[in-house]
A and B are shown apart, each in its own frame.
Chain A
Amino acid sequence: MSDQPLHRTLGLTDDEALRITELMGREPTDPELVMFSLMWSEHCSYKHSKPLLSGFPTTGPRVVMGPGENAGAVDVGDGLAVVFKVESHNHPSAVEPFEGAATGVGGIVRDILAVGAKPICLLDSLRFGPLSSQRSRHLFTRAVAGIGHYGNCIGIPNVGGEVSFDDRYEDSCLVNAMCVGVIPHDRILSCAARGIGNRLVLIGNRTGRDGIGGASVLASAELGEDDADKRPSVQVGDPFTERKLLDCCLDLSDRGLLVALQDLGAAGLTSAASEMASMGGVGLAIDLDRVPLREQGMAPAEVLVSESQERMLAVVEPGRMAEVVALAQRHELEATDIGEVTDTGDFEALWRGDEVVRIPARLLTDDVPMYDVPRTPAPAAAPVDLADLPEPADPSAAWLTLMANHNVASKRWVFEQYDHLVGAGTVRRPGGDAAVVLIPGTNRAVAVALDCAEWHCELDPRAGGMASVLEAARNVACTGAVPIAATDCLNFGNPEKGSTGWRLAECIGGMADALRAIDAPIVSGNVSLYNESPGRVIYPTPVVGIVGLLEDASKSVGHAFQHPHDVVLLIGYGEPRVDASQYLGRAEGSPPVPDPVRESALFRLLATAADQGLLASAHDVSAGGLAVTVAESAIAGGVGADVAVDSGRRADETLFGEGGGRVVASCRPDHVDALLALAGAGIGVARVGTVGGHEVTITVGGSVARVSVADLARVWEGSIPEALEAT
């Protein structure tokens, strides 16, 4: 055992320990110090990132509830709001991928539930090392299995997201999960505790020793060689109990039995109760002996910070307790009165009759020291000189190679392990640009996408931040939906080292600019720092979730070509570039800088075209460029196309380059003129080809790339399963 003082082993600095003593006016007890160490960890307090987050737009006419509660909410008409958030579970997944990823899903679902909303879909954004690495294959397959196991069993369709592979994620994989729920405005629950004398009720699972210190020692530190020792800090999921908890809490909320609701996530009861007290401006007194335990001999500090899953904390009026307990029993769950709301403002905890904790709640939540991160700029990256990149002799062969690239190839292996249809609301399934899910009881739907342009963020963080927002929003816009709001998960390395702090600030700046331009405020978010190991820091990975609204779900547009003789159109702005493209194959060069103003014109054009029923398909040009985009529409439709473009650039750059805001669309021949007439505001609409046949042919000047749809599909669909079979 180390002879370090307790505060250091808990991850607190000497200055922070002094500040705690000063704020308390005395030495904290051991349980109190443990509570501070968790609440003041980066994971719970955002002490390195909060000052930067103030740059995000968070208000707008549709915003019902901005950041600050468990999840944000935006109006979608008919008195309904959608509630959503994306959150990371990176460190646990790197240590134990199955349970780490599974409990990541469980946690984000409870955030949505805490608002009282009924979850309608899940998405996830994943990053691993290359599949040539055995460790990465293990992390990838087990994380996907964990997400599937948990998500399938709780009955929330997992409708989309993204996966990519790069050396930089070999040690620190990323597992981000997003959940979207729906709720009538007037039923939104707050986590603010109210009503002196009201009861504090713990609902769901019993409390055990799993996940002790998850937020501090695991999630707020770099990964290292002793990670195996951190396995006890990973929580263990029980999706069956989560499903019962969902049913039970929605039932309790329907009957108006809840004054406030909060989930137990990072730092467990400590975080849940202190936030409830602090938000409500009240105190809470908890009798730890009443907390139902899973194992014997737990110390009070362990009960206070256990991250045992599938637990919710509710505030209930004393007179309604019997109804709450009876309803929980009907769902075969425990609901236990563990304390009450007080007027002291303190977080009090009793253990065997003794007061072991008395902390003014706001010290835990509001008095956290904030740190400015060093902002050391990285040198600007030089553009790729095409002269250094030999042009492929056979563009068709280069095309097939790119189709097999794991960052381009079909992710069917992943999404077929997820139930993406449960709930009977999935209008557009995974594999397209954005998922489209019905808003229950209406003809409306939400379109949702999660994206990040991490190579761009590495090379030009401001442009990369913009690109991440616009990529997600363009995916949503391709379905015909109007992007209305956003959530984000900022995955970065150690902000105190190198240029990470600068990249974080720049990415946030670029994201904020793009979000303002497209009028999509951020309503919730999460920050995950310290995603690095000795010698390997992840790319800046600000994952952006965009939610769009379709007023009429029957008008949604898919990415598959529909009918022979339909006309292929290229809609958008900007030029293809090889810099930071999958064709180049590495984060190198000077990525194109997007134009958010033109981008929002593109989104308006797509929404108008979809609303007027002009589009047969629309598909965003992203990883792999124009050739891959056309191929994906052809594979999805089971029909070929003949396309000719001339960008005035080299053929390979035209075929495979990325950048700008471009969409490959198709339409019936009699709709072409109406679509051409929508061009303007810097957005071009060009007729580039025809749907039909069994081959996809793309002609660029004198260069012709031609591959059968069957061969494209075989390579694209087979690539990831083959890499996994090679084990």
Chain B
Amino acid sequence: MSATRVAVVKFPGTLDHESAARAVAAVGGEAVPTHHADTALPEGTNAVVLPGGFSYGDHLRPGAIASRTPIMGAVKRHAAAGGKVLGICNGFQVLCESGLLPGVLRPNASLSFICRQGDLEVADSGTPWTGGRLAGEVLSMPYKHHDGAWFGDPGGSRVVLRYRGENPNGSIDRIAGISNLGGNVMGLMPHPEEASDPLLGSIDGRVLFAALLI
């Protein structure tokens, strides 16, 4: 049986496509580089990752321009058919801008970019995104962003991950990551691809990539 094909989308200014691809490979998936101007996902795509970075230099609003690129039409069709989509950091911002997830990501309360390792707690163990982790279990991952304060109606989504302890950005309800009600589209500000190699101190991020392969 061939490996699960995961389309890793690169917009101009995307930065984390290579590390996301390595994280996909680390859990046994096949990462397929995907260009933003394409109108269809690669042949046989099973799941999609929108990696972090500064697509279009954060011009207008983070994620705003990327959400209107041709590939996002294909990503929306994939999601509508129940396919899994994981948006990380700027990818989360793209998902919110494209309407695949509710809410918006506002500038951090500190108005500064912040890069730190942090603890996240599983808020909802019922989605596929945290594997078998129980609610309250902790995942260690870095977060690094300037516009990461999720704002919206938590009732319109499922809160999957919350910051534990200090809330780095002032998001509502300490939200770090949410999924849609269907559970197949997930966005989070922290970076699971930078917590997928034991040399970097944590492999807690792998659970999110493993969820793409189910």
Q: A residues within 8 Å of B by Cβ?
A: 148-149, 152-155, 238-241, 243-244, 247, 330-332, 415-427, 438, 553-554
Asked if B16 is at the interface of the complex by the 8 Å CB criterion, the answer is yes
Name the contact of A421 in the complex, choosing from B35, B54, B112, B115 (C-beta under 8 A): B115
Contact A416 B115 (CB under 8 A): yes
Residue of A nearest to B18 (CB): A423
Name the contact of B54 in the complex, choosing from A152, A418, A438 (C-beta under 8 A): A152
Asked if B57 is at the interface of the complex by the 8 Å CB criterion, the answer is yes
Q: Could you tell me the distance in whole angstroms from the C-beta of B64 to the nearest C-beta in chain A? A: 14
Point out the residues of chain B lying under 8 angstroms from A427, CB to CB: 199-200
- From 141 to 195 in chain B, residues with beta carbon under 8 angstroms from any chain A beta carbon are 142, 144, 146, 191, 193-194
Contact A240 B199 (CB under 8 A): no
Asked whether A424 and B54 contact (CB < 8 A) given A416-B115, A419-B144, the answer is no
Asked if B68 is at the interface of the complex by the 8 Å CB criterion, the answer is no
Point out the residues of chain A lying under 8 angstroms from B116, CB to CB: 416
- From 12 to 30 in chain B, residues with beta carbon under 8 angstroms from any chain A beta carbon are 12-13, 15-16, 18-19, 22-23
Q: Could you tell me the distance in whole angstroms from the C-beta of A363 to the nearest C-beta in chain B? A: 40
Point out the residues of chain B lying under 8 angstroms from A247, CB to CB: 12
Contact B115 A417 (CB under 8 A): yes
Asked whether A421 and B191 contact (CB < 8 A) given A243-B15, A426-B200, A554-B199, the answer is yes
Asked if B58 is at the interface of the complex by the 8 Å CB criterion, the answer is yes
Contact A438 B115 (CB under 8 A): no
Contact B19 A424 (CB under 8 A): yes
CA distance A438 to B13 in the complex (A): 22
CA distance A502 to B22 in the complex (A): 52
Contact A239 B57 (CB under 8 A): yes
Residue of A nearest to B193 (CB): A424
**Quick one: CB contact mask for B33-60 with A, threshold 8 Å, 1 for yes?**
0010100000000000000111011110
Q: B residues within 8 Å of A by Cβ?
A: 12-13, 15-16, 18-19, 22-23, 35, 37, 52-54, 56-59, 112-116, 142, 144, 146, 191, 193-194, 196-197, 199-200
Name the contact of B15 in the complex, choosing from A148, A155, A332, A418 (C-beta under 8 A): A155
Contact B196 A240 (CB under 8 A): no
Residue of B nearest to A153 (CB): B54
CA distance A330 to B146 in the complex (A): 28
A-B contact pairs, 19 of them (CB 8 A): A152-B144, A153-B13, A153-B54, A240-B12, A240-B13, A243-B12, A243-B57, A330-B35, A332-B12, A416-B114, A419-B115, A419-B144, A420-B115, A421-B200, A422-B144, A424-B23, A424-B196, A424-B197, A553-B199
Contact B12 A331 (CB under 8 A): yes
Point out the residues of chain B lying under 8 angstroms from A425, CB to CB: 200
Secondary structure of the B side of the interface?
mixed
CA distance A396 to B53 in the complex (A): 46
Point out the residues of chain B lying under 8 angstroms from A418, CB to CB: 113, 115
Residue of A nearest to B54 (CB): A153
Known: A417-B112, A427-B199. 13 other contacts (CB 8 A): A239-B54, A240-B56, A243-B13, A332-B12, A418-B113, A419-B113, A419-B115, A421-B144, A422-B15, A423-B15, A425-B200, A426-B200, A438-B199
CA distance A98 to B110 in the complex (A): 19
Contact A424 B12 (CB under 8 A): no
Name the contact of A152 in the complex, choosing from B18, B59, B113 (C-beta under 8 A): B113
Q: Could you tell me the distance in whole angstroms from the C-beta of A327 to the nearest C-beta in chain B? A: 12
Contact B113 A423 (CB under 8 A): no
CA distance A152 to B115 in the complex (A): 10
Report which residue of A244, A330, A417, A424 has the largest number of chain B beta carbons within 10 angstroms of its beta carbon.
Answer: A424
Contact B199 A422 (CB under 8 A): no
Contact B194 A424 (CB under 8 A): yes
Name the contact of B57 in the complex, choosing from A153, A415, A423, A424 (C-beta under 8 A): A153
Q: Could you tell me the distance in whole angstroms from the C-beta of A418 to the nearest C-beta in chain B? A: 6
Point out the residues of chain A lying under 8 angstroms from B58, CB to CB: 153, 240
CA distance A153 to B58 in the complex (A): 9
Contact B113 A240 (CB under 8 A): no
CA distance A438 to B112 in the complex (A): 28
Name the contact of A424 in the complex, choosing from B22, B114, B115 (C-beta under 8 A): B22
CA distance A422 to B15 in the complex (A): 8
Q: Could you tell me the distance in whole angstroms from the C-beta of A713 to the nearest C-beta in chain B? A: 15
Contact A421 B114 (CB under 8 A): no
6 tightest A-B CB contacts, nearest first: A240-B57, A155-B15, A424-B19, A153-B54, A424-B194, A419-B144
Point out the residues of chain A lying under 8 angstroms from B15, CB to CB: 154-155, 243, 422-423
Contact A421 B13 (CB under 8 A): no
CA distance A542 to B56 in the complex (A): 38
Point out the residues of chain B lying under 8 angstroms from A152, CB to CB: 54, 113, 144, 146
CA distance A438 to B199 in the complex (A): 9
Asked whether A424 and B200 contact (CB < 8 A) given A155-B15, A240-B54, the answer is yes
Q: Could you tell me the distance in whole angstroms from the C-beta of A157 to the nearest C-beta in chain B? A: 9
Point out the residues of chain B lying under 8 angstroms from A155, CB to CB: 15-16, 53-54
Q: Could you tell me the distance in whole angstroms from the C-beta of A153 to the nearest C-beta in chain B? A: 4
Report which residue of A153, A239, A244, A418 has the largest number of chain B beta carbons within 10 angstroms of its beta carbon.
Answer: A153
Asked whether A417 and B113 contact (CB < 8 A) given A240-B54, A424-B19, the answer is yes
Residue of B nearest to A441 (CB): B22
Contact B56 A421 (CB under 8 A): no
Point out the residues of chain B lying under 8 angstroms from A149, CB to CB: 113
Contact A238 B57 (CB under 8 A): yes
CA distance A243 to B53 in the complex (A): 10
CA distance A418 to B194 in the complex (A): 15
CA distance A438 to B196 in the complex (A): 14
CA distance A199 to B108 in the complex (A): 47
